[in-house]
Amino acid sequence: MNEALAKATNLKEVLDKKRPMNLNTLHSLQKDYILRSTYHSNAIEGNTLTLNETKAILEDGITIGGGKSLREHLEVINHRDAILYMESITNNQISERDIRYLHAIILRGIHESAGSYRNDEVLIQGASQKVTPSYLIKEHMSDLLDWYETSIAHAENPIVRAAMLHSKFVNMHPFLDGMDALGA
């Protein structure tokens, strides 16, 4: 086990020893996770809202002026809603329907392709890795979900399993560029 994985595994063990946590602590941790995850995921995709502006939108419902677009506001709200949806279905299983629905939430009010696999071929700029051809996406998604179910049955480390799922999903690139539901 590499050093980062060992550290994460140890931190998880420390966290597990503190369970059950009181509801105020859980709510505080969830709020912080939603804020930071939303900010960083959107920033990677080019959203110009600051961490404090993201917080104001999420916690106070404030609209940010100064040239911030409606799209940037929707990206914040939609990302939060996608996290809440993922939390509501957490049971170590994920379906193709869940993935498409997450994509629909992420792009709600932003793009007409919300919830639909891409029909066009794309390249990842600067990468030598080729993505799945559009006509194979549905088949590869089925294979990915089969792999995921098998990895659970073999009790693979959940951190490794999550990283591998993310990598396989991003390399497949099933949605339009910049719009992957399970990634940034």
The residue type at 109: G
The answer to whether residues 101 and 117 touch, using CB atoms and an 8 Å cutoff, is no
- The residues annotated as belonging to the active site are 173
Q: From residue 81, how far is each of 47, 86, 102, 109, 178 by CA, in Å?
A: 17, 9, 9, 13, 18
Residues 6+ apart with CB under 8 A from 57: 49, 63, 64, 73, 76, 77
CA distance 3 to 172: 28
The answer to whether residues 39 and 52 touch, using CB atoms and an 8 Å cutoff, is no
